[in-house]
Chain A
Amino acid sequence: MTALLSIRDLTVSYRGDGREVPALRGVSLEIEAGERLAIIGESGSGKSTLALAIAGLLARGARIGGAIEWAMPNLQMPHSFAPPSVLPDISPTRGEISSSVAGTSFSTSMIGESGNEKAISPLVGEMSGRTEGGAVERRPLHLGSAVPRLGRDIGFVFQDPSSSLDPVMPVGKQIAEVALTHLGLSWPQAYAHAKTLLERVRLPDPDASMRAYPHQLSGGQKQRVAIAAAIAAGPKLLIADEATSALDTIVQAEIVSLIRRLVAEDGMTLLFISHDIALAAELAERIAVFRYGELLELGTTAQIVNAPRHAYTRALLDAHLGLDAGPLRQAGAPA
């Protein structure tokens, strides 16, 4: 397997009320091309920050250090990229430009950040993904054409599909716009492409759904539309950030199997961010366990589930209440 991207010593911190709150501390990780990698952790683990950093969606005011190196065959202009403004106190590691694979160009997005005032504070506490959320101001991290573009090279599915869909535009048009922007199609072609996509995500009656507005769809259907929009331009990498956390168990299982099928059909790499280790284990080939902004353990799913090395991973596994788990107490008639 070859690496699609390698993250080296990635550090992200947010500023809130004059304090610097670290969200990721020196994370190094390689994502293999074509794999399904799950990032799991509880709230405050930095798992969503990692997803946003890879997609270039970190909020303004985040301080970033380290490097994210991409190896995408279809990227133009293979050269190192330096941002226009780098604070003197941050010296991002220079990304060495190597070409380990013939025909593959590496590009590194060097990341430096001006301390913008509009900081957002990360959600610290014990709440997990289910009720987190709320759109924050997003700012592209990777600039220029040498780095992958969100929408074209990276598809991103958020937890709350309502916040990523335009409430006053029919969903067919929204998907077609992605295709129009990134694939250089004509409008009729893009529209036809959108309909194919709605069929692929198994939306009932694609013709009618094309004209539907988001509020006319259920939560699960909206998430299917969001997935269709995310894969509209044929991205190499699909990032699903707690994409099923707001859905009930049945719809969650459907969306997970949809993601599995689409990733297999299109040969995409999947980054699946979740707080649910059992769900991650059902979908992913490898699991990375995060806590307090650090990568604790990375291994194949079987290894993480059956032979966890870290005590925290073991605790997460034990805390899972499955249909096969032991009871918290003896069930039966109350005394």
Chain B
Amino acid sequence: MSRLHRFLRSPEAIAGTAILALLFAMALTAPLLFPGDPQAIAGPALLPPFQDWSLPLGTDRLGRDVLAELFHGARTSLAVGLSAAGAALLIGAVVGTLAGFAGGLIDEVLMRITDAFQTVPGFLLALAFVSIVGPSLGVVVAAIALGAWTGPARVARAEVLSIRERDYVAGARVIGMHPLEIAFREVLPNALPPVLALSSVIVAAAILTEAALSFLGLGDPNRVTWGAMIAEGRAVLRTTPFLSIIPGIALVLTVLGVYLAGEGVVETTAVRRSLS
């Protein structure tokens, strides 16, 4: 039975994949369905949802189209979530591999740096970084990755420590392969599966961190983000709670979708691993 087949057997995986597919569709179609600036005024302020079918989810305090903002916000959430997680996994895998494979002083130094990063809560780290450097999409991605790479680094190091004792690593040394080539070509690819298993958690956390930064006004001011939408709606929370609730639901569904799909992938590959 193929991996895809097994993946599609789990209801969690199907639900997660469906949510993510919807999210990607939103992100990809946003410029087509809502061309122009989503932050431009589209109608009267504080129009409730389902009143005017040209503005199905209504408008916010400044009269901006909530549905357009939601679609464009999906782009930011996904872009930041995926690139921050990708950067964190890359940094973590490289640091973990170097530490585990080199051993000795290099291992000691790299792991103490990892400790230092791990003792500071990731969100505070991101907060401090963005406050100092200034908010833009790239800085937000870097800030989130800065707090998220330590987990993958530890997992990669543990895996590398076991792999470097295997015969095929000795075999690579016997044919005279350079240590760096051994580390990154022979060892790292085989150490990746458990590191990648962390990716769903990291993507979900990155999306939440991005939302939190935006909520505090530290997101990219030129982009619509769900966090900023929630913050914007907070001022009128008593009278028009939907302004906060709609992006809030989008955020919850996204994190849930990422998590469920990730679990599905992990479970599928875990079954395959136990079989081989």
Contact = CB atoms under 8 A, between A and B. Distances in A.
Interface of A: 16-18, 117-121
A120 B1 CA distance: 12
B32 interface: no
A18 B1 contact: yes
9 contacts: A16-B275, A17-B1, A18-B1, A117-B1, A118-B271, A118-B275, A119-B275, A120-B275, A121-B275
A16 B1 CA distance: 8
Contacts, number: 9
Contacts of A117: 1
Interface in B124-177: none
Given A17-B1, A18-B1, A119-B275, 6 more contacts: A16-B275, A117-B1, A118-B271, A118-B275, A120-B275, A121-B275
Contacts of A120: 275
B162 to A, nearest CB: 16
Contacts of A16: 275
Q: Which 9 A-B pairs have the closest CB atoms?
A: A18-B1, A120-B275, A17-B1, A117-B1, A121-B275, A119-B275, A118-B275, A118-B271, A16-B275
A120 B273 CA distance: 11
B226 to A, nearest CB: 40
Interface string B252-276: 0000000000000000000100010
A162 B271 CA distance: 23
A120 B271 CA distance: 11
B168 to A, nearest CB: 14
Nearest to B271: A118
Contacts of B271: 118
A24 to B, nearest CB: 20
**Interface size class, chain B:** under 10
Nearest to B275: A120
Nearest to B5: A18
Interface of B: 1, 271, 275
B186 to A, nearest CB: 21
Contacts of B275: 16, 118-121
A117 B274 CA distance: 13
A18 B271 CA distance: 15
A53 B1 CA distance: 25
Nearest to A18: B1
Contacts of A119: 275
Contacts of B1: 17-18, 117
A120 B275 CA distance: 6
A249 to B, nearest CB: 23
B271 to A, nearest CB: 8
A92 to B, nearest CB: 26
A119 to B, nearest CB: 7
A135 to B, nearest CB: 11
Nearest to A120: B275
A195 to B, nearest CB: 37
Contacts of A17: 1
A119 B275 CA distance: 8
A121 B196 CA distance: 26
Contacts of A18: 1
Nearest to B6: A117
B276 to A, nearest CB: 8
A104 B103 CA distance: 66
A117 B9 CA distance: 12
A18 B6 CA distance: 12
A256 B256 CA distance: 58
A194 B271 CA distance: 38
A121 B274 CA distance: 11
A118 B271 CA distance: 8
A196 to B, nearest CB: 39
Nearest to A137: B274
B177 to A, nearest CB: 24
A18 B1 CA distance: 5
Nearest to A17: B1
A127 B1 CA distance: 26
B246 to A, nearest CB: 41
A121 B275 CA distance: 8
A118 B1 CA distance: 10
A170 B210 CA distance: 52
A323 to B, nearest CB: 30
A125 to B, nearest CB: 14
B254 to A, nearest CB: 31
A29 to B, nearest CB: 30
B53 to A, nearest CB: 48
Nearest to B9: A117
A199 to B, nearest CB: 38
B6 to A, nearest CB: 8
A121 B272 CA distance: 12
B244 to A, nearest CB: 45
A305 to B, nearest CB: 36
A108 B271 CA distance: 34
A118 B275 CA distance: 8
A19 to B, nearest CB: 10
B171 to A, nearest CB: 16
A295 B226 CA distance: 69
A18 B275 CA distance: 13
A18 B4 CA distance: 13
Contacts of A121: 275
Nearest to A15: B1
A119 B1 CA distance: 10
A322 to B, nearest CB: 29
